[in-house]
Structure formats: C-alpha cells, structure tokens
Amino acid sequence: MTTMLNLMIFLPLIAGIAVLAMPSREQAKWLTLGTSIVVLIMSLIITAGYISDGASGLAYYNEVTWIQAINVKYATGVDGLSLPLVVLTTALSVLIVLASWNVEKATKAFLALYLFLMTAMLGVFLAMDLFLFYVFFEVSLLPMYFLIGIWGGPRKEYAAIKFFIYTLAGSICLLIVMLGLFFLTPQHTGGEPLWHMIELQNLPIFAEGGAYYGWAKVFFWLTLIAFAVKIPAAPLHTWLPDAHVEAPTPISMILAGVLLKMGGYALMRITYPFFPDAAQAFWHIVAALGVFGIIYGALCAMAQSDWKKLVAYSSVSHMGYVTLGIAVLTTAGFYGAYFQMIAHGITSAMMFFMVGVVYERAHHREINRLGGMWLKWPGYGGWSLVCFFAGMGLPGMCGFIGEIMVLLGTFEAAGAGQVGANAAPTVYTLGILASSGVVLTAGYILWMFQRVYMGQPRPDYDHYEPVNAREYAIMTVLGIACFVFGIMPKLVFNLTEGTFDHLLNVIWPVGQVATAALGG
Amino acid sequence: MHTIEWLIVIASLLPLVSSMVNIFFGKKVLRQNAGWFAAGVMLVSFLLSFVALVMWMGGGHTEPLTNLRINWIPIGQGKYLQLGVLVDGLCVGMVAMVTFISTLVHVYSVGYMAGDKRFERFFAYLSLFTFSMLGIVTANSIMQLFVFWELVGLTSYLLIGFWFEKRGPQLASKKAFVMNRVGDMGFLIGFGILFYKLGESILLPPVSGGGMFEAIAKQITAEGYSFTNPPMWLTAAGIGLFFGAIGKSAQFPLHTWLPDAMEGPTPVSSIVHSATMVAAGVYLTARIYPILTPGAHLFIATIGLITLVMAACMALVMTDIKKVLAYSTLSQLGYMILGLGAGAYSFALFHLITHAFFKCCLFQCSGSVIHAAHHQQDMRYYGGLKDKLPVTAACYFICTLAIAGASIPFTNIALSGYYSKDGIIAGAVNYGEALSSLGAWANLFWIGPLVIAYVTPFYMARSFALTFLGRPRDQHLYDNAHEAPWMMTVPQVCLAFLAVFAAIFPFLSLINETREYMVSLMGTFAPGVQVWVQPGTESAMHHGYHPVHAGLLHGFAWILCIGAGVLMYKDGMTISSRIVRLPVIHQLYTWAHNKFYFDALYDVCFVNAGKLLAAFAAGFDRLFIDKLVNLAGSITVVGAMGSGWVDRRVVDGIVNGLARFAQNCGALLRLVQVGRVRAYVMVMFATAVVVTLIVMVITLVPGASAAP
C-alpha cells in the first residue's frame, strides 16, 4: 500500500514526461486520460484499504532520509484529513482531462504540465514531512503559472504573474516559519529539528506558558497568511478573480476544485494543530475574516456582469465558511469546514465547467448578453440548476452539509469551550452575520440564474453546436456527486471521523472538547 | 418499525419516485400519460396514508412513534444529527390531508395543464413539491424539517417560475425564494442557538425518551431559570425559528411574495395556498410549540394580528380574482398564527386543515373561471358567469360560505370554517383578557379577528358577486366561456363537499391528541406549569365547542356581510366606486390598493440598497484592494528599478571605480616603463640613493630606532 501511495504521487510525473515524447496529440490525450484513471483507481484502492484496515489515524506511513544534515525526510502517508481530498483530486482530474479534450494549442505541453500539477497536488496532500510539504506546495505553482500564462485569455500574463507572486509571497511566510521551527524545535527534541507534521502538533514549547509562546503567535500569523492567500480569504483574494477569468475552463476547474483546498487543508494540518493556543488567542480575528469573506464575496459576486467572475467571487464567499468553521474551534465547525471543502470542490468545478460550456460557444461571458439557456439546452439547464442550487446550499445536495455545520459550529462556540467564556456576544454577532450569507447567496445565484437561463433563447444561439456527450458525461458525474454527498455525508465523515476526533483531542485535551460539544 | 410508520414512509416516498420517473422518462416514455401517472401515484399515496389514519385511530396510541431514526451528520464524539419520522395524531392527519389535496390538484392539473409544452415536467415538480411537504410533516427533528423546508422552497421556485419564458414568473419565483431565505436566516439563527444549548437533542417531538423539551427543561433548570421565568435565549430561539414560519407562511413583514406567486399556474396556487408551503410555517410553529415562551407567544400573536388585518384590507380592494384569494389566504394564515400565539393550538391547526379544503377549492374554481375567460383575471370583465359555469359557481359559493364561517346561530350546525375560526376567536378573546400587562392594547387581540370575521364574508361575497352574478360586463368573454372539463370540476366538487363536512371528520381530535400528549409531557418536566401561555387561556378553550359566547359575537356575520357584499357588487363596481371617492375612505383605498407600499419600500430599502452595496463592494474590491495589490507590485517594480540604478551606479560604480583605479595606476606606471636601459639605470640609482638616505636617517636619528 505504501508503494502504491508513492507510485500514485509520481506516476503522473512519469506519464507527463512520456506525454511529451508521444508522437501524436491523440495518443498524448489517451495516455493522460489513462494515467488519470489509473491514479483514480489507485486512490480508491487506498481508500478501500484504509477502511478495511479499520484505520482511523495516520496510515501507510513511510519515510526515507532525504537531507541528513537537517533531518529532512521524504515521508508520506494518509489519514482522514488527506484521504477525501486525495480522492477529490484524482476524481476531478479524470473529469478535467476530459474537459481539456478540445485544447488545440500545444496540447502535449498542456497535458504534461497538467500531469506535473497532479503530482504536486497529490504530494501536498500526502506529504507528512513539513519540508516535503513545502516543496510540493511550491512546485504546484509552476505548472499552474504556465497553464494560465500560456493557455489563458487576453490578460493571461498579468493574471499568471499575479497568481504566482501572490502565492509566492505567502509561501515566504511559510519559509520563515520553517526556519523558526528549524531553530526552535531542537529545544523540544533535544537534538534534531522536527519536521514530522503529526509530531509537530501542539508542542509544549509553543503552548501558552511554553518557552516560545511568543514565537508561536508570530508563526501562527505567518502560516495563516501563507494559507489564507491560497484559500483565498478576503482581503487576500484578489488574485483569484483574475486567475479564474483568464484561465481556460479545465484549469479554472482544478484551481477552484483542488488548489484552493490546499489552503484549507494546510490550515487544518499545520496552522491550527501546530499552534492551537495561539489560534485560541486570535480566534475572533480569524473568524471575523471568515465572516467578512462570506458577505464580501457574495456582495462582489452580486455586482459582477462577467459570469465567470461571479462564479469566482462565489468561491471567495463559499471558502469563507471554511475559514469560519476552522476559526471557531468547535467540532461541528471543523467537520463542517472540511466538508465544505469537498462540497465546494465538486460544485465550483461544476460551475466553472457550466460557464465554460457556454463560453466555448459564445466567446463571451457577459451575463446580460445571455438568457434562455434552459430552453436552448434543457438537459444542460437542468444540471445547471442542480449545480447552482447545490452551491447555494440546498439540502439534499452537498453544499448544505458544510454550510449548516459551520453555522451550527459557530453558534456552538458560544458555549464557552475553546473560545473563552465571554465570547457569547461575539459569537452571536458572527453567527448572525454569517447566516445572512444564505440570503445573499440566494440573491446573486438566483439573479444570475434568471438572467442566464430563464427567458427565451437569443437568435445568435442558433449556430451554437449542441452540448455533446462528453460534456454531458462530465456534468452528469459532477451533478450526481452533488446529490450523493448531500444525501450521504457519511461517505466523507466515515473517513475523517477518527482522525478529527484524535486531532481535536491532541490540540485541545479531551475534557475541553467534550464540554464544547455538549454546549458547556 | 410499526406498520403505521411503514405506511407513512412509503406514502411520503411515493411522490418522490413518481417525480423522478417523470423527470427521466416523462418526455420520452410517458408523454401525455405523465399527468395520470403522477395522479395515480398520488392516489396510492393517499390511500396508504388513509389506511395509516384509520389504523392510528383504531390503535389507541398514546405516544408518538419514532422508531425510524437514521444517523445523518456526525457532530463529533459519536453524536449525530438524525433523520427519521415522527408519527402522531397531527402527523397522520396532515399526511392524509396533504396527499388528498395533492391528488385532487394532480387530477385538476391534468385538465388545466393539457397542451402545455412542459406538461410532464409540471407533474414532476408538483409531485416533488408534495414530497417535500410530506417530509416536513413527518420530520422528527428540526434538522430534517429544515431540509424539507428548503426543498419546499426549491420546488415552489420551480413551480412559480414554471413559465420562465415570461418575465413575471421569473421575478415572482426569485422573490418567493429570496423572501423565504430571509425567513430561513432567522430560522438558522434560532436553530443555532438551540444547537449550542442542546447539542444533538434538537429532535422535534417531546418524546418521552429524551426529546428536545426534556433537554430544554434540564438546561434551563441548570441555568437557574424555570418555565415561569424563562431565559432570554429561549425566547430568542423561539422567535428565530418562527421567522422561518414568517417566510413560508407569508406573514407580515415577509408577506409580499405570496400575491406575486400568482404568476405560477393556477393549480400551483391552489396547492401552495392550501396544503403545502404556507401550511408549513403554521405546522412548524405548532411543532416547536413547547419551546415558545410567553414573550415569543406575544410576538407570534402580534405578527398574526397585523397580517390578518392588513391582508383583509388588501383583499377588499383587489380586482384580480386570484389576488383577492391570495390576500384572503394571507388573512386566514394570520388567523392561524394569531391562534397559535394566543394559545388556541388545536383550533389554529384545525383551521389549517379546514382552510386547506375550501381555499384549494376556491383557487381551483378561479382557475376554471380563468380557463374559461381565456386568461383574463380581472373581475371587472366578468359578471353573470354562473350561467356558463354552474358547477364552478356552486362550488365557489359553498366555499365562500365555508370561509365566511356560516352557521345556524345558536346551534351546532355549521360549515367547517365556522368551527375552526370560532375556536381561534374564542382563544383570542381569552388571550386578550389574560394579557393584563398590556392594558387596553390587549383588547386589540380579540377586536382584530372579530372585525375581520365580518370583513371576510364581505370580500368573498364581493368576488363571488363580481364574477358570477349580475349581467356580463364583457360580452365577448361571456360568450366564449364554458364549463371546465370533468378533470377540473370533479376535484372542485370533492373539495366543496369537504369544505362543508370537514368538521365531521376527526381532525380536531387527532390534533388534540398531539396537544394533550405535549401538555402532559410538559407537566412531567415542569410540574405546575400547564403550558407556556398565561393560565386561564387554554383551560377555557378545549372543552368542546361553545358557540354561544363567540356565536353571539360573529354568528350573524356571514348573513349580514355576504348579503351586503352581494347587494353591493352584483352589478359591478358602480356603487363601490362612488364609496371610494369619499375623502377618508379614498385615502385608505389608495393605501390598500398599493399594498401599503411594502413592495416599493422593500425595493428601495433592500433590493436597491443591496445592489448598491454590492456595487460598492465590487468597486472597493477593484479600486481599493486590488489597487493596493497592484500598488504593492508597482512599489516592488519601482524598488527594483531603484535598486537596479543603485546597482548600476553605486555597486557597479565602486567595482568599476576600483577597476578604473587599477587601470589608471597601470597607465601611470606605463609612463615609467619607457624601455631604455639608461633610464632604468637612472631609476635604479635614484632608488638606491633614496633607500640609503632613508636607512641613514633611521639609524642616525636617535628616537626613530626606539620606535617599536
């Protein structure tokens, strides 16, 4: 299993090189598709193994010494926190390869870069050594930079550079923290610096009253900034609309579907477990950022006339729930934030795909120049309804679970627990403001839906070629996923439950979490 | 699981199945049979629930059945939010009513929607709508209720916007959904407060094995409060949850979507306004009843009172037949909500059921009229249609009597609407008396419903007279009018029948069963406190009908006001148009006609303000935050250019300077190296002289050698 785990990470890389060597485009496409399917199957086998082994925490861990001098290891493994995201990545990858079927310009390079990106993404989720994580985290930027910068729209260079520098600026913060850990963790281990991401959880030296609590606060903020850029948490989000608008459809899908999740994942993997006491000290600022993102993203989305930009801002709004759910330090909040990432991975990828289908034919994305799409293509309209209502958080579809759990988790925080006894007024304020998100979301999505889908089709649609079987296949799979995860959230929670309970117990010792869950 | 539970679950799921079949196979396989297929499935569903109803009544159950519980969403530490069913008297009564009305609406729609190009899709939505409503009435936790609550929102969006090619339905469906979401926001807040206080036990029923009510009892006792002195948060949670009901049941101030929802096909109106959607809010309020504190009760009663009076005023002046009925629904919902707030629990829910029958019938009749009148909805063009649509006219008149609360004074013989409305008015009178703290204001709680009991027959008679009586005012319309096909008239007749006789069926006793169970359980957990309502209110209420007291107050209302309405309007608007020219009445008329300017107010305050705020946020994002980022980028570029200059001029300058210095030195030295032997000898000699001189100086000067 461990072999398969590592093979899964590097198979796309090898295939990427092979793709470049392929004689024809068609062969390159099929090879890419085949690789992505194989990787998907591997990830499913690993999931099946994880379940049948009854594993609940870290499993299939393996390490090889990499840089002896500073104790860096090549260490990989899975736990409940990474597994659902890995499957999300591999599953979306197959669909994204299908969605890229019509890329004409330098197809082989495109596919190869995409495969490199896949390695980086899987590496981020599977690395258990902080140094290795950092490497993959940084490496993921490069293919993305080229994918936007070469295959993008009119302002692709600007968008690509903005994306790259923005994220890189965040990564510098992470680098500083790593330097800090390099110098400080030997105090804890009594020798070598510590990079193992599970062992780094809640070190006494970084706890309140520990020798380096002051540094822990600094590190908390630095890592938070590093990952908030990726999420993206407003106001560090402005790279996102540009990147999305310029990126080609499949790249938008992977960007929204997986790359944003790296930020949320890293918050749950690094920022909060490493420095829980610092997180507790600053919870209200982070939570306020989350609520701000929800409302601000929704308002910005409402004002857009560019359809894709609207969807991009909806990501800012929806990912605000992730930030909020993590920040309130409750069990329901953590669960909800995690589920929201999976759900958003499905719905946002689907939304971008829906936009792409029309853009490919209309060559513009002006909402006010569209209309009547439902009558034009009833099947496409039906799946769009599913997708946008799932994004809106309608029960029975995946968006609902994450949203409601984050909201409930927010209110739960009022019961003392982790955020301090006097937090109730703050919590209520945040909870009420966050709840207003449901109205705003309904507002911008329905308004958009009315303008794009309702009404009579326009005469200039006549020459549009019909939505083809490949496109229907992609939207059907994603649409069904919306329902499946909305009706059976346990598919995700069964995998995460053990890890989460353990994680929460490590970072907030048992008694506290239990009282928080009971509401004080 | 008990057989009754199985029956209820299957009856609830069947509409979902039929909806899915219609979505996937409706167009290709079922085609024109889609309607009959859906209606048939609904009928089966009704029969199952009827069997369940009979079994329940014969079973002598004293406790709700809640055996089906599925863990749905984990909330940590092995606890879950659950899905499941709750079967009690109220539930089986509601399921039977909903499936019955839905079956009739399905049948009616086969006639009404014939020829529509999305015929099968309509039935898919209609069945899904019914399924969502059944989900609400069988829900056993607030969580599940909310799930189906939102599904009702979605399906109503689809149904109201069914003809989405046109602008009206587009706007109306969006408005309905967003308004409902505003209510949902309140619901979520209330839900959140309860969740944080109670954790996983936010199940709906006061189940003896540890339901929500028990958890609340424990919680408030632990906090040092009691049921007579409840904590703030409980009131806030109750009002928050009730906000959901305000949205769904279209109460003031979120009532504006309901009249607009008339843009949907008429069968949709008939089901939205009777068995589903608007009923959901009332049902929710009834289910969360145990947690409503006196403060919350006062809030609910006030909202109900305002809606009841306001909507009746608007119903008086509308000329669109569907709008009259829509406002009449609002007003009747106000009765129910007021009844719940005032403590007339059973009668409020009973009114929900009786109202469902006659209001559904009224809407179907209006649909038949509109069908006959080629989609002319303005009553000013009608008149004399009773000769053309005799069945419809008869049904409409019967239901007018039912909604008016017709009875034979001083006897127990009356139409269904009388019993339920009477109970609510009686409850309101008691509530007004008990609310001594409000002083004279408390009297409004019974004056309002009483006055409106006189207004209701009047506006209903007005619509009846304008439509069916007198001479035709549009001869062309009249000549082309014809009675609807049997698929449409048969459901009308069935519903009219029930409008008369619903009170004979044991709905009230079913509701009372639920209520008594609730009250007894409250007695267990909070000894000494019977109910949340002020003492005296309930005790006077539920000992059967007592028409004498209330009967004297409004027993003659229907005769007087229907008579007046018919006399005044049977020849069109001639008399009334003279009346509305009177000074004060004219003002009132203008206000009511403009719906008290709520739409305009909301447009300015929320829609436009929202758009403005959105535009501001987007501008802020583009012009400030993004500019800030670009500024940072620009500063970096400028900095880079600066450092480039420094690099070129300073760093490079130093390096170059050093190089140039070396070069210059070399050049200087080159001057010396002239290549002639004599010159070299000269230099050597001179050097030797100089060195010798220096050595001499060093050795001869005494202090110099002493230097270290």
The answer to whether B532 touches B297, Cβ cutoff 8 Å, is yes
pLDDT band at A519 (very low <50, low <70, confident <90, very high): very low
- What is residue A257's DSSP assignment? I
Q: Please answer yes or no on whether A331 and B77 come within 8 Å at the CB atom.
A: yes
Q: Chain B contact for A302, CB < 8 A?
A: yes
Q: Could you tell me which residue, B316 or A510, shows the higher pLDDT? A: B316
Q: Chain A contact for B223, CB < 8 A?
A: no
Residue whose entry in the numeric block shows the structure tokens 């729930």: A321
The pLDDT value given to residue B690? 83
Q: In the predicted model, what is the mean pLDDT of residues B19-47?
A: 86
Closest partner residue to A517 among B77, B150, B182, by Cβ? Answer: B77
Q: What's the token pair of residue B582?
A: 């009177």
Using a CB-CB cut-off of 8 Å, the residues of chain A touching B71 are 490
Q: Could you tell me which residue, A260 or B521, shows the higher pLDDT? A: A260
Using a CB-CB cut-off of 8 Å, the residues of chain A touching B185 are 435-436, 438-439
Q: Chain A contact for B197, CB < 8 A?
A: yes
Q: How far is A315 from chain B (nearest CA, A)?
A: 15
Residue A516 predicted with pLDDT over 50:
no
Residue to test with chain B: of A300, A405, A410, most B Cβ within 10 A? A300
Average pLDDT of chain A to the nearest whole number: 87
Q: Chain B contact for A493, CB < 8 A?
A: yes
A481/A398 Cα distance (integer angstroms): 8
Average pLDDT of chain B to the nearest whole number: 81
Nearest CA in chain B to A300: B618
Q: Chain A contact for B618, CB < 8 A?
A: yes
Q: In the predicted model, what is the mean pLDDT of residues B638-652?
A: 82
pLDDT band at B629 (very low <50, low <70, confident <90, very high): confident
- What is residue B411's DSSP assignment? S
Q: Please answer yes or no on whether B196 and A436 come within 8 Å at the CB atom.
A: no
- What is residue B68's DSSP assignment? -
Residue B116 predicted with pLDDT over 60:
yes
How do residues A400-452 score in pLDDT, each as one tens digit? 999 988 988 888 887 656 666 677 788 888 888 999 888 889 889 998 998 88
A355/A376 Cα distance (integer angstroms): 15
What Å distances lie between residue B370 and B156, B266, B482, B499, CA to CA? Answer: 21, 9, 11, 22
Closest partner residue to A443 among B178, B184, B618, by Cβ? Answer: B178
B415-444 exposure pattern, b = at least 16 Cβ within 10 A, e = fewer: bbbbbbbbbbbbbbbbbbbbbeeeeeebeb
Residue to test with chain A: of B19, B27, B73, most A Cβ within 10 A? B73
Residue to test with chain A: of B19, B218, B621, most A Cβ within 10 A? B621
Nearest CA in chain B to A516: B196
pLDDT band at A515 (very low <50, low <70, confident <90, very high): very low
pLDDT band at B552 (very low <50, low <70, confident <90, very high): low
The pLDDT value given to residue B530? 46
The pLDDT value given to residue B524? 63
Question: N- to C-terminal Cα distance for chain A?
Answer: 42
Cα-Cα-Cα-Cα dihedral sign, residues A301, A303, A308, A309? negative
pLDDT band at B113 (very low <50, low <70, confident <90, very high): confident
What Å distances lie between residue A115 and A9, A17, A46, B153, CA to CA? Answer: 10, 9, 20, 42
Q: Please answer yes or no on whether B164 and A455 come within 8 Å at the CB atom.
A: yes
Nearest CA in chain A to B154: A394
Let me know if residue A353 belongs to a domain. Answer: yes
Residue B306 predicted with pLDDT over 80:
yes
Q: Is A74 helix (H, G, I), strand (E, B) or coil?
A: strand
How do residues B127-141 score in pLDDT, each as one tens digit? 999 999 999 988 888
Q: Please answer yes or no on whether A439 and B181 come within 8 Å at the CB atom.
A: yes
The pLDDT value given to residue B708? 43
Please name the helix (run of DSSP H) or strand (run of DSSP E) that holds residue A59, with its range, or none: strand A59-67
The pLDDT value given to residue A513? 43
The pLDDT value given to residue B707? 45
Estimate the crossing angle of helix A490-507 against helix A331-362, to 10 degrees: 130
Closest partner residue to A443 among B148, B193, B610, by Cβ? Answer: B610
pTM: 0.86
The pLDDT value given to residue A280? 84
Q: In the predicted model, what is the mean pLDDT of residues B50-57?
A: 86
Q: Which of B114, B570, B577 is nearest to B385 (CA)?
A: B570
How do residues A165-191 score in pLDDT, each as one tens digit? 888 888 888 999 999 888 888 888 777
The pLDDT value given to residue A41? 94
Using a CB-CB cut-off of 8 Å, the residues of chain B touching A442 are 177-178, 181
How do residues B446-461 score in pLDDT, each as one tens digit? 888 888 888 888 888 8
Question: Which residues, numbered 68 to 107 in chain B, qualify as contacts with chain A under a Cβ-Cβ cut-off of 8 Å?
Answer: 71-77, 79
Query: What is the number of domains present in chain A?
Result: 1
Q: In the predicted model, what is the mean pLDDT of residues A329-337?
A: 87
Let me know if residue A69 belongs to a domain. Answer: no
Question: Which residues, numbered 15 to 54 in chain A, qualify as contacts with chain B under a Cβ-Cβ cut-off of 8 Å?
Answer: none
Q: How far is B287 from chain A (nearest CA, A)?
A: 20
How do residues B267-277 score in pLDDT, each as one tens digit? 888 888 888 88
A484/A496 Cα distance (integer angstroms): 17
Using a CB-CB cut-off of 8 Å, the residues of chain B touching A443 are 178, 181, 610
Q: List the domain range (segments joined by +) for residue A333.
A: 282-520
Q: What's the token pair of residue B549?
A: 């007291």
Q: Could you tell me which residue, A123 or B78, shows the higher pLDDT? A: A123
Closest partner residue to B192 among A401, A408, A501, by Cβ? Answer: A408
Using a CB-CB cut-off of 8 Å, the residues of chain B touching A436 are 185
The pLDDT value given to residue B537? 41
User: Lowest-confidence range among A87-101, A498-512, B608-622?
Assistant: A498-512
Closest partner residue to A394 among B23, B73, B150, by Cβ? Answer: B150
Nearest CA in chain B to A431: B189
Q: Could you tell me which residue, A520 or B285, shows the higher pLDDT? A: B285
Using a CB-CB cut-off of 8 Å, the residues of chain B touching A301 are 614
Residue A15 predicted with pLDDT over 60:
yes
Let me know if residue A124 belongs to a domain. Answer: no
Closest partner residue to B73 among A405, A440, A453, by Cβ? Answer: A405
Let me know if residue A356 belongs to a domain. Answer: yes
Q: Strand ranges (DSSP E) for B78-214?
A: 80-84
Let me know if residue A379 belongs to a domain. Answer: yes
Residue B540 predicted with pLDDT over 60:
no
B672/B683 Cα distance (integer angstroms): 9
pLDDT band at A509 (very low <50, low <70, confident <90, very high): low
Q: How many CB atoms lie within 10 A of CB B2?
A: 17
How do residues B337-396 score in pLDDT, each as one tens digit? 988 888 777 888 888 888 888 888 898 898 888 888 888 888 888 877 888 888 888 888
At residue A205's C-alpha, the angle toward residues A202 and A206, to 5°, is 55
pLDDT band at B205 (very low <50, low <70, confident <90, very high): low
The pLDDT value given to residue B548? 44
CB pairs under 8 A between A and B: 157
Q: Please answer yes or no on whether B199 and A166 come within 8 Å at the CB atom.
A: no
Let me know if residue A425 belongs to a domain. Answer: yes
Let me know if residue A55 belongs to a domain. Answer: no
The pLDDT value given to residue B551? 62
The pLDDT value given to residue B549? 55
Nearest CA in chain A to B166: A455
Q: What's the token pair of residue B203?
A: 């199940």
* DSSP one-letter string for A155-197: THHHHHHHHHHHHHHHHHHHHHHHHHHHHHHHHHHTSS---BT
